Amino acid sequence: MKPNNITRLLDQRKIAYTAYELPAEKLGAVETAQYLDVPPNLVYKTIVVTRIEKGKPILAIVPGDHEVNLKTLASAVGEKKLALPTEKEAERLTGLQAGGISPLALLNRGFQVFIDCSAQSVSEIYISGGQRGLNIRLAPAALAHLVNAKFAAITR
């Protein structure tokens, strides 16, 4: 697998990770877990969430076998209401293909990032590597530190 901006960034910051090459088609988190032969609750997906008022979208990092809870996320962010954009809108907002949306690829772009607190009970999680066909395994605390994320109970 050839390095990309994300693997170069992780190397540069000396963050321990393992990169996995996956098929290039769009895989959901549960399919990715099956492919990697790991439990689906360890493969986290990045959900783009939009504010009803003005402001940058939020990235919610949640276990693959869970859904983001917009009410608890809104409360964590201090908003009254949040919305889920369509896949096309999420791609437009991030500039990334669905299946390749990653907080690591959106560093310093003004997105607020929240990671479901379930990640704090495991030593490593798997997330998208910023493009279809690339998955990264790393420590949740390292991810949170790198992308300036907060942990919160944001799933149902």
Q: Domains in the chain: how many in total? A: 1
pTM for the full predicted model: 0.94
> Is the Cβ–Cβ distance between 128 and 102 less than 8 Å?
yes
Distance between CA 61 and CA 14 in Å, rounded?
A: 22
CA gap 60, 98 in Å, rounded: 14
Candidates 45, 56, 109; CA nearest to 79 is 56
Residue 70: which domain range? Answer: 5-152
Measured distance CA(11)–CA(2) in Å, rounded: 13
The stretches of the chain forming alpha helices (DSSP H) are 5-12, 29-36, 70-77, 87-94, 140-147
State how far the alpha carbon of 92 is from the alpha carbons of 46, 124, 127, 150, in Å: 15, 30, 20, 24
Domain containing residue 87: CATH number: 3.90.960.10
- Size of the chain in residues: 156
Token pair belonging to 127: 């997330």
Please give the C-alpha separations between residue 40 and each of 103, 117, 127, in angstroms, as whole numbers. 19, 16, 11
Q: For position 109, what pLDDT does the model report?
A: 93
Task: Please give the chain's pLDDT, 156 residues, in tens.
Answer: 677 889 999 999 999 999 999 988 878 888 999 999 999 999 999 999 999 988 899 999 999 999 999 999 999 999 999 999 999 999 999 999 988 899 999 998 999 999 999 999 999 999 999 888 899 999 999 999 999 999 999 998
Tokens for 12? Answer: 């540069």
Nearest to 129 by CA among 37, 41, 49, 32: 32
Rg (CA), the chain: 14
